[in-house]
Amino acid sequence: MVCLKDLLKNLTYQVIKGSEDTMVASVVNDSRKVEKDSLFFCISGGNADGHSFAEEVVNKGACVLVVEKEVVVSEDAEVTIIKVESTRYAMAFISAAFYGNPADKLKVIGITGTKGKTTTTYLVKSILEHAGFKVGLIGTIEVIIGDKVIPANNTTPESLLLQQYFREMVDAGCDTVVMEVSSQGLMLHRTQGFTFEIGVFTNLEPDHIGPNEHKDFEDYMNCKGLLFKQCKVGIVNCDDAHWQQVAENHTCELETFGFSGEAHLQAKDVQLVTGKGYLGVDFKTEGTTNMEVLLHSPGKFSVYNALTAIAICRHFKVAKDDIKKALAQAKVKGRIEIIKVSDDFTLMIDYAHNAMALESLLTTLKEYNPKRLVCLFGCGGNRSKLRRYEMGEVSGKLADLTVITSDNPRFEEPQDIIDDIKIGIGKTDGKYVEICDRKEAIAYVIKNGQPGDVIVLAGKGHEDYQEIKGKKYSMDERVIIDEIVNG
């Protein structure tokens, strides 16, 4: 049990009812999880407003309500009501205090940007673990705490869950955490209540603009910039056109990386490498760190990801040999993940599931001059039709052969989605085949692979399921490939 007064230390608040001396046994923001002596955060969400559950949670035993507007409870209810300006902001600080401010015992690295967050977090984890650190990870794919792996729902968890993860990481002996920080997470105060050791900006492109996310690009950019008011050291990609606006009014030390001669850490002499069934790249770094790097993943964005990781790990005094070994071995599930099936052609799985990501990937792969660039993809059901047209057009322009198949059709008919993709491809001269069943489509591209081909299975990435009519069916492309190749 923790005294409410101790949980409110870093906040401005008003006691509407009850006492600050109330003892709290748990903190929750889900009315279904309320029990005796819970503190309940009334969050105004997109789908529901926690303030409307006030009476229900008091009847379940909640002893404290944290609110940002008026709530209705019976006059004789034994409950303390604390009013704050923002319940989301308060939730971050109260949760941190409730779990004993665990982030104070960790070096927390936060990475924000449109692309590269996921890959870079795994690279940093790999490098630091090679150097003897014990590293937790929080990201789009999963949360890793020691040997425990938890599938992720959000890129950046709600502050309440984030602080719980930090507590578990401290208890598991972690000394460092590397996490993806989404603009939504920053906007909704999920990362308040602690200070990042290092904040990183990778790049920015128009994405996540819409009624449920950011009202416009300016808002998206400003939210990314919040990270540099919450960290000790900021590391930014100075090749990105928006970096100065993102870092504007920063309160941290700032350093830069990129190909630019102005960057503190620079990539030089980039060479594309082709091997039997794989593509890679090697380059040198100059500036704050001078070394040679060989990566077993293709293209310029792989260089950026590695450069970001080097810029971060420099602050942990990691030996260059540890960095080189870790970068050569690092593999991220579903992010340009090369699966060796033949010496003759290269096969990879990638999460590219919108036109921007697909164009970036296919453009990179064309630089290796494959005999044919084959792109297999589908699009998700109950999502924008525009994405289907755009992805069809991108693949039609850049791939030598497009194999249109199913992704997560959800509540739509797979053939209807394929027909939409074909409208986009129809704007190009691109060749295509359509094979609705994704397993059959994968078997087709492998069995018809030609020497010198580069084949991309796009869209599913790390996902190991297919969502059809509200149900998730097991489907891991790695398993499918193994079954096709090894029968």
pLDDT digits (tens, 9 = 90+) for 122-173: 999 999 999 999 999 999 999 999 999 999 988 999 999 999 999 999 999 9
The reported pLDDT for the residue numbered 87 is 98
pLDDT digits (tens, 9 = 90+) for 225-281: 999 999 999 999 999 999 999 999 999 999 999 999 999 999 999 999 998 998 999
Q: In Å, how far are 73, 277, 357 from 297, measured between CA atoms?
A: 59, 12, 16
Element (H, E) at 192: none
What structural domains does the chain harbor? 2-98 (3.40.1390.10), 102-329 (3.40.1190.10), 337-486 (3.90.190.20)
Residue 54: both structure tokens together: 């006030």
Please determine, for residue 211, whether its predicted confidence score (pLDDT) is greater than 80: no
The reported pLDDT for the residue numbered 209 is 43
Q: In Å, how far are 326, 335, 346 from 331, measured between CA atoms?
A: 10, 8, 16
The length of the chain, given as a count of residues: 487
The reported pLDDT for the residue numbered 222 is 82
pLDDT bin (cut points 50, 70, 90) of residue 210 is very low
The reported pLDDT for the residue numbered 351 is 95
Please determine, for residue 376, whether its predicted confidence score (pLDDT) is greater than 70: yes
Residue 328: both structure tokens together: 């050569």
Please determine, for residue 318, whether its predicted confidence score (pLDDT) is greater than 90: yes
3-state secondary structure of 472: strand
Please determine, for residue 413, whether its predicted confidence score (pLDDT) is greater than 80: yes
**Inter-helix orientation angle 300-313/320-329, to 10°:** 140
Please determine, for residue 224, whether its predicted confidence score (pLDDT) is greater than 90: no
pLDDT bin (cut points 50, 70, 90) of residue 214 is low
Residue 298: both structure tokens together: 């293709």
Share of the chain above pLDDT 90, in %: 91
pLDDT digits (tens, 9 = 90+) for 343-361: 999 999 999 999 989 999 9
Mean pLDDT of 417-436: 98
Please determine, for residue 307, whether its predicted confidence score (pLDDT) is greater than 50: yes
The reported pLDDT for the residue numbered 208 is 45
pLDDT digits (tens, 9 = 90+) for 62-85: 999 999 999 999 989 999 999 999
Q: DSSP per residue over 75-108, as a string?
A: TT---EEEE-S-HHHHHHHHHHHHTT-GGGGSEE
Radius of gyration of the chain (CA): 24
Distance (Å, whole) CA 191 – CA 96: 10
Please determine, for residue 442, whether its predicted confidence score (pLDDT) is greater than 80: yes
Please determine, for residue 487, whether its predicted confidence score (pLDDT) is greater than 90: no
The reported pLDDT for the residue numbered 336 is 94
pLDDT bin (cut points 50, 70, 90) of residue 215 is low
Most confidently modeled range among 112-121, 202-211, 440-449: 440-449
pLDDT digits (tens, 9 = 90+) for 12-40: 999 999 999 999 999 999 999 999 999 99
Please determine, for residue 55, whether its predicted confidence score (pLDDT) is greater than 80: yes
The reported pLDDT for the residue numbered 268 is 98
Distance (Å, whole) CA 58 – CA 74: 9
Long-range contacts of 124-128 (CB under 8 A, 24+ apart): 124/178, 124/309, 124/312, 124/313, 125/178, 126/326, 126/327, 126/329, 126/330, 127/309, 127/313, 127/318, 127/322, 127/323, 127/326, 127/327, 127/330, 128/176, 128/178, 128/313, 128/316, 128/318
In sequence order, the 6+-apart residues with CB closer than 8 A to the CB of 394 are 355, 358, 359, 362, 424
pLDDT digits (tens, 9 = 90+) for 379-405: 999 999 999 999 999 999 999 999 999
Closest by alpha carbon to 304, among 345, 342, 270?
Answer: 270
